[in-house]
Amino acid sequence: MNKNDIDSQLILRYIWTSASHINVEQIFKIARPNDDKHLFQQNLENHYLLWHGTNICNLISILTRGLLVGPLCATATGSLFGKGIYTADAFAKSLGYCSGVRQNNNERCFMLLCEVALGNSQEVGSHNVDLNQPLDLKIHQSRKANGRKIPDPQYTVTRKYGVQMPLGQLINCTDPKHNYHTCEYNEYIVFDESQIALRYLVQFR
């Protein structure tokens, strides 16, 4: 992608709101027709562009097969909030799951930016939630772990087809409903692979 086009500039802003030290080398647009088909068949609202970090060893498999719930071939990264696909609205959070190839004392890594159909999220941190119980998909279609640091919501922009992109600088969460925070940053978990579509791949150091 051309670094000067609007999509690239928005993605760069999204990265630098939580990780200003990142040197972005390339941004690639991903087109997987089946992703669109499955995503829109879900007929869910609340679509967000969210980050997913990965080991470079898993990248070819992900680009070929998409993100899977608990794939046998992937490196395990934990499942505190249930066995699902984890994403975040802060690049800094997903950065912890990236590992790449070292060249000249620098590590080249890759990060996925995905469109996620969240539907109605069950919020962990606003009330007691039994994480051992599966979601009742008639009520909740995703799970959100509320973080202490959140993107300033007044700078969330709506892109094509109503997809939301949280571009605000990180601020401390002051919502009294979220008086218990399970993590530093927001995390979003979906348990159905058809709720997530790969949109962009960021190559960085």
187 catalytic? Reply is yes
In 3D space, the residue among 143, 142, 148 whose CA is nearest the CA of residue 184 turns out to be 148
Q: Which of 45, 107, 184, 187 is catalytic?
A: 187
H-state helical runs in the chain? 6-16, 33-41, 56-65, 91-95
Q: Is 64 exposed, middle or buried (0-12, 13-18, 19+ CB in 10 A)?
A: exposed
Q: In one letter, which amino acid is 142?
A: S
Question: Which secondary structure element, helix H or strand E, spans residue 172, and what is its range?
Answer: strand 170-172
Return the closest-CA partner of residue 91 out of 174, 154, 23.
Answer: 23
Which positions are annotated as active-site residues?
187
